[in-house]
Structure formats: C-alpha cells, structure tokens
Amino acid sequence: MTETHTLPFPWHSFDLRSRFLPEGWQREVLEVAHVSAKDKYLVPSYATSREADSESRIPVHTVDGGSIAEELPWLYSLYRQQLRDMAQTLTKEEVTTATDVRTGLTLNVQRGTQERYECHVDWNPLSGLLYVTDHPRGSGGELLVSNRGDVRSCEEVDADCTRIYPVAGHAIFFDGRYHSHYVNALREEGDVRVVLAMNFYTSSHPEKNRPKSLDRHLGLLT
C-alpha cells in the first residue's frame, strides 16, 4: 500500500569542495572506481526493492567498504568523522557509523546509457551520498525520489518526484525509508557516474538490527 505524504521529500546538502577534500581527491577516487569496481547484478526481489518487475536483473558496479578503507584511507576517515558530524546536525539522536567497514560505505559506479540503480527504499534511518562526478540537468544520472512516499515502481516515482542532480564535492543526507527512489540512466554512452554511498545509524535504529540478508542482496556480504 502506498504511504502518501503531503510535503515534498526533504534532504540536506553540504559543499565539501573548499574544506575536507584533499587536493586531487576526485582523480584518486575515480582511479579506484575504474580499477577496483566489481560487476554484479541486483535482482530486485528483496523487501526494500520497489521495482515493478521483481525478476529483472539490474547491472551494478561497486567498490566495497573494505577496499575503500585500504585504498582511500582519507575517504574512510572522512566518513567516520566529518561526514558523521554533518549527519549529526540533522537529528537529536546520536549518529554512528558502521562498525563493519564492508557495509558502511560503497562506491557505486554507473556506466553508459543502459545502467541505473534499482528503485528501492532504505533500511537505515539516515543515508549519505558524496558525489564524485557532476551530472547537470539533462545529462541523466540524477537521483529521483518520490514525493508521495513509498510507491512501487520507477514510473510511480516519476509521476511526482524530487530530482537531485549530482555535483562533485557535494554531500547530501536524507531519510529514504519512506520515499521510494532510484537513479536515472545517463544520457551519453561514454559517461560515468561515481558516488560514495554511506550508511549512518541512530540509537533507535542501530547497526546491530540491520538484516544481514539485505547486505547479501546488495552484494556487500557473501
């Protein structure tokens, strides 16, 4: 059943370009994304999936949190410290990062015009995205979030949605548990979209309650 909301989807953005990001950060992250991303398919049959066709196979490319911590230790530290502090400003509950590095953060890589990210809702109470690449209006790769709440397909999201266009060096935070969302396909075959996706937890929704089956569905655990 669709959960209807009367207000547009709320989200918060922080510009990290003048602080926190080291010189050459974008080049470093893109190199790791190019070399270390692993290919897999999502079959959107999990409880958090909101695809119309639960039997479809959606190609995704990811760099897991363990590889990020090893190859980009400054980025892992940013997640654990400054980005956590930014998330903390959005709630009165204590915000924590994942103790399991494998599931706390992921580099998601999207290539060409045939790929997108599945329509879904989040489990964790606060999600963060740090954009590595720019995708202005008209180029695809935007995050589309249902203003009507929890709907059951990309088409239903499209009917009334907030569109968030990636800006490299900007971090956004939101609660995606009650708003279905997905990432649109890119418009140019040679384009690449890279984003750091982060999980944050609170005292009322701690990491220990996160289902391991969800992380296996996402390919973060085997």
pLDDT for position 203? 94
For CA atoms 39, 34, 165, 82, the dihedral sign is: positive
Distances (CA, A) of 17 to 22, 170, 209: 9, 7, 34
* pLDDT tens for the 222 residues of the chain, in order: 344 455 678 999 999 999 999 999 999 999 999 999 999 999 999 999 999 999 999 999 999 999 999 999 999 999 999 999 999 999 999 999 999 999 999 999 999 999 999 999 999 999 999 999 999 999 999 999 999 999 999 999 999 999 999 999 999 999 999 999 999 999 999 999 999 999 999 999 999 999 999 999 988 887
pLDDT for position 222? 77
Using CA atoms of 15, 18, 183, 100 in order, give the dihedral in degrees to the nearest 10.
Answer: -90
pLDDT for position 220? 87
Q: Number of C-alpha atoms within 13 angstroms, CB side, residue 44? A: 22
Residues in the chain: 222
pLDDT for position 7? 61
Q: Are 87 and 128 in contact (CB under 8 A)?
A: yes
pLDDT for position 36? 97
Proportion of the chain in helix, strand, coil states, percent, rounded to 5: 25, 30, 45
pLDDT for position 2? 44
Write the pLDDT tens digit of every residue in 25-44.
999 999 999 999 999 999 99
Q: Are 95 and 126 in contact (CB under 8 A)?
A: yes
pLDDT for position 8? 74
Q: Per the structure block, which two tokens stand in for 95?
A: 């915000």
